[in-house]
Structure 1
Amino acid sequence: MTTETSGSLKVIYAAIAANLGIAVSKFIVAGITGSAAMMAEGIHSAVDTGNELLLLIGEHNSVKPADAKHPFGYGKELYFWALIVAMSVFSLGGGLSIYHGYEALRHPEPLQDPTWNYVVLGVSALFEGYSWNVSRKALNERRKPGASLWQTMRASKDASVFTVFIEDSAALLGLAIAALGIVLGHALDNPYLDPAASVLIGLLLVGAAFTLARETGGLLVGESIGADATRRVRDVFEKDPAILCVAELQSMQLGPDEVLLTASVQFRRGMRIDEVEAAIERLEKTVAALYPSIRHIYFESGALRSAMG
């Protein structure tokens, strides 16, 4: 197990522990007080708990060794399950919260003592904040100087970490919306504000689901390592004495810490086979030192023919 995988599992386990306890407490209080916003929050936390279990499946499957059927390994399994999580957040989290809020708006429950709602919301904020902070620290480990946390999340290739981060960010905002709906509902003696908060929480989750789907979908269909990283790798090739020119470099993310790179380059003409082999080995070591995640480099056959022509 790599250090990155270990860090991802830590983030997932922290999220499971937080969401499971929160979901149970929210459902109990929602049943006692009849709060639609609290019921929406309970649904949200229950869905998040299930989602983290799906991410564990993805983490487990993604580290299986390569075989004849999958010669580049199973790294994209994680992206597949992260996409399933996005669909779950959209349908179960967002959809059920909106539906429950809509039904409560049609038939609002009489206002009851909100004390336990506030207690659970406060405790939930502490647990969610802890889980969010674990995922934030994991993202910060790869944060480039001057980059915002949002930019770091967008650039991350570790679906487990950025999925938990997005879910927990939505959860914290959802708690704030639920608290505001309950407070205003009792302050104004208006039973419609609580279920309205439930609808808003559902819309928030739909937005989080679309963000997750966009990030994981790009990785699943074959996202590159990015323009900046590609430019640095190109510099490595162009500075090597065996390379005359670099026509094209193409990369694809195979997993959080595994990248495939293909190189269309022109070697110096007249090189012996042992010189070409030495140049390739030198380039592979230099690129690996710069970006350890680039584990596979393939050279276009035309480049090799021109070198020994």
Structure 2
Amino acid sequence: MTDAVPPAAAGGSLTVVIALGANLLVAIAKTIASVITGSASMVAETAHSWADFGNEIFLLIADRRSVRQRDDRHPLGFGREAYVWSMFAAFGIFTAGAVVSIWHGIQELMMPEDATDFGIAYIVLAVAFVLEGISFTQAFRQARAGGKRRGISTGSYALTSSNATLRAVFAEDAAALIGLVLAFLGILLHQVTGLAAFDAIGSILVGVLLGGVAIVLIDRNRRFLIGENPDDGLRNDVLGGLLERPEIERVTYLHLEYVGPGKVFLVASVDIVGDDTETHVAYSLRRIEESLRQNDHIEEALLSLSTPDEPSLLPLVE
């Protein structure tokens, strides 16, 4: 089960904690710089960093709540909590980051103000780039390791992985690094040309970037909340694992659905070897289900019997 990596085991909490600390330091530095310089791009970056800081808190909550053990009222566990809280974080990026940045940029275009102390802005942007780079490196390494396991690119893994916190940190930090470059260009062009419009445009572009990232994250979390199926590679792995069991002759139906980061709900119809009595077959099915549940990545497994006329499933071509 190549994508089944529980967030705690995969270092998800560590990734979020590193991002949280980096964003707090960056947000404070940008706030001071925006007050001193009056730069629209710096104001946009300040809103961006405070939004990211708040979002990391949501992601920490997502990590903590999603790994709770299931109970009678939650038979499929609490894994989808990760997508709920990550959705809150994505909305935070959109409202506190994108909307504020775009609105401030528009205001600056309508009523331009001169910026001062450009050197301070450059220093803060440089320090922010280093801190954001450290945070992004942690998320990138985790995504690259997951991509290698699944045989896909790092970016594809970050986008499609069931690990919502990893995806959010990866996307936010990547956007932060791009946003810092946009802010730098806006401030530099303002300084060189004396036109505050460049600074305002930088603020708007940062807002548009954040809005795009927020929309992507909202859509991905929506997909997992309504029931996202694993990719063909994971489906083939599970099918192969079932067929390797000596009690199972063939599989005619297989449904896999993510119910949390690295957790799936498995439903299958199988043909048990031999032609035993109904009671013995029922016990066999229950033993297989219990064995499947011992896998850290299977939250629940339900098996039923295949009928003789049902065709056997074959591995899908990736």
> Shared fold (TM-score greater than 0.5)?
yes
* Secondary structure, counterpart of 2:20 in structure 1: helix
Of residues 190, 197, 204, the one that matches 1:199 is 204
What is residue 271 of structure 1 aligned with on the other side?
Answer: 276
What is residue 212 of structure 1 aligned with on the other side?
Answer: 217
User: Is the 2:77–2:299 Cα contact (8 Å) retained in structure 1?
Assistant: no
Query: Does residue 293 in structure 1 map to residue 301 in structure 2?
Result: no
* Secondary structure, counterpart of 1:108 in structure 2: coil
CA gap of 1:284–1:155, structure 2 versus 1, over 3 A, is farther
Q: What is the identity percentage for the equivalent residue pairs of Structure 1 and Structure 2?
A: 32
User: What letter matches 2:255 in structure 1?
Assistant: Q
Of residues 221, 230, 241, the one that matches 1:225 is 230
Aligned CA RMSD, in angstroms, stands at 2.4
CA gap of 1:188–1:118, structure 2 versus 1, over 3 A, is same
What is residue 4 of structure 1 aligned with on the other side?
Answer: 7
After TM superposition, the structure 1 stretch with the greater mean CA deviation from structure 2, 61-70 or 194-203, is 61-70
Shift, 1:17, TM fit: 0.5
What is the alpha-carbon distance in structure 2 between the residues aligned to residue 51 and residue 283 of structure 1? 38
User: What letter matches 1:69 in structure 2?
Assistant: R
Shift, 1:278, TM fit: 4.4
What is the alpha-carbon distance in structure 2 between the residues aligned to residue 96 and residue 288 of structure 1? 47
User: What letter matches 2:154 in structure 1?
Assistant: L
After TM superposition, the structure 1 stretch with the greater mean CA deviation from structure 2, 138-147 or 198-207, is 138-147
User: Is the 1:236–1:283 Cα contact (8 Å) retained in structure 2?
Assistant: no
* Secondary structure, counterpart of 2:146 in structure 1: coil
User: What letter matches 1:225 in structure 2?
Assistant: P
Of residues 83, 94, 99, the one that matches 2:98 is 94
What is the alpha-carbon distance in structure 2 between the residues aligned to residue 171 and residue 304 of structure 1? 55
The TM-score normalised by the length of structure 2 is: 0.87
What is the alpha-carbon distance in structure 1 between the residues aligned to residue 49 and residue 137 of structure 2? 17
Matches for 1:90-129 after TM superposition, within 5 Å: 90-129=94-133
- Alignment gaps of 5+ in structure 1: none
- Measured against aligned partners, the alpha-carbon deviations of 1:19-71 in whole angstroms (never above 9, x if no partner) come to 11111111111111110000000000000000000111222221222222212
User: Is the 1:219–1:253 Cα contact (8 Å) retained in structure 2?
Assistant: yes
Shift, 1:294, TM fit: 2.0
After TM superposition, the structure 1 stretch with the greater mean CA deviation from structure 2, 148-157 or 192-201, is 148-157
CA gap of 1:65–1:239, structure 2 versus 1, over 3 A, is closer
Shift, 1:216, TM fit: 1.4
Of residues 260, 267, 282, the one that matches 1:255 is 260
After TM superposition, the structure 1 stretch with the greater mean CA deviation from structure 2, 47-56 or 105-114, is 105-114
User: Is the 1:104–1:195 Cα contact (8 Å) retained in structure 2?
Assistant: yes
Aligned residues: 302
What is the alpha-carbon distance in structure 1 between the residues aligned to residue 117 and residue 56 of structure 2? 33
Of residues 137, 148, 151, the one that matches 2:153 is 148
User: Is the 1:37–1:194 Cα contact (8 Å) retained in structure 2?
Assistant: yes
What is the alpha-carbon distance in structure 1 between the residues aligned to residue 73 and residue 244 of structure 2? 37
User: What letter matches 1:215 in structure 2?
Assistant: R
